[in-house]
Amino acid sequence: MIGILRTLFLASLVLVGCTKGDRVPAYVEVAPFTLTTTTAQGAATHKITDAWVSVDERLIGVWELPARIPVLGEGRKTISVVPAVKRNGMFDDRVRYPFLNTFTGPVDLVREGTTVVAPTTTYKSNTVFWIEGFDDPDFARLSVLPASDTTLERFTPASNPELLYIDDSPCGGFTLDATHRYFGLYTDEDFALASGAVFLELDYRCDIFFTVGVLYTSSNISSFDPVVFVAPTVRSNGFMPWNKIYVDLTGFFNSPGVSQRDIYLEARLPDGATSGTVYLDNLKIVRFGS
């Protein structure tokens, strides 16, 4: 999709101009976004990978950030940068994230010159949050599934300084081995029906796959449905970085006739593996309030 939009834009450079001079672009370098949050909105972690960029309300494409963008025109203009994410972690499914504000500001364009834009964003004021950040020792908002044969642990910079911490705050996690092969947790909140977009945000680092799914009751039947299989973050050199995923739960939360809505995470030790570890942080369910 991004490649098609860029091709169409570059073609427009030829069609719009009447003279060679008119077709000489200015350049805008759009840096990665900075997200600012309040205490009630949780940690300011994000994975804004792309942006819809407009100049004077004219869309000039969808770009992976950071980006150097050619723009026809010169002088003082207004640039708009809409934050976008990979829905469900899919490379080819990049969407404007509905809960974040668009960055808008002035930009001075000079033909063949380059202007740098550093976009910032915040959550929209009517966004409602359910958050488990593992800051409290009991992490009471999460329960362990009865079938689990191990427990959810809490790690802090004081107790486990050797671990990486995404925002220098505690995180949760679990380890599987030959005698502890399955772990599952769920929210146990019985979330109500919602209208409009609903997403799960989750920071994680892991060396095995784990599943994010939904559990619910419909027609007096309880169901567990997987939504996303999350891949390991470990690299070839053994380093295990943090990553972030945005899981689209809109259809699940907008479906009538469903009760006892909850989210679950689970992992099983792969065949042939001797151990596996998953770390979790900043679990947020975000939606719009009334």
Contact between 237 and 184 under an 8 Å Cβ cutoff? The reply is no
Q: Which of 141, 230, 144, 266 is nearest to 191 (CA)?
A: 141
**Which backbone phi and psi does 83 adopt, to 5 degrees?**
-70, 140
pLDDT (average), residues 24-43: 97
- My answer on whether 111 and 141 are in the same domain is no
| pLDDT in the model for residue 19 | 47
Q: Side chain identity at 89, as an amino acid letter?
A: G
- My answer on whether 98 and 188 are in the same domain is no
- My answer on whether 61 and 174 are in the same domain is no
Provide the pLDDT confidence category of residue 20 given band limits of 50, 70 and 90: low
Decide which of 122, 153, 183 is a domain's last residue.
122
Higher pLDDT, 265 or 13: 265
Q: Which domain holds residue 16?
A: 2-122
In this predicted model, what pLDDT tens digit does every residue of 213-235 receive, in sequence order? 999 999 999 999 999 999 999 98
- Per the structure, the count of domains in the chain is 2
Burial class of 271 by CB neighbour count within 10 A (0 to 12, 13 to 18, 19+): exposed
Provide the pLDDT confidence category of residue 21 given band limits of 50, 70 and 90: low
pLDDT (average), residues 246-262: 96
Q: Which of 227, 147, 155, 238 is nearest to 184 (CA)?
A: 147
Angle 58-119-61 from CA coordinates, rounded to 5°:
30
- My answer on whether 88 and 136 are in the same domain is no
pLDDT (average), residues 164-190: 96
Is a pLDDT exceeding 60 seen at residue 94? yes
Q: And the tokens for 139?
A: 């992490």
pLDDT (average), residues 130-158: 94
- My answer on whether 148 and 248 are in the same domain is yes
- My answer on whether 155 and 243 are in the same domain is yes
Is a pLDDT exceeding 90 seen at residue 53? yes
Neighbours of 107 (CB within 10 A): 18
Q: Give the CATH number, domain containing residue 167.
A: 2.60.120.200
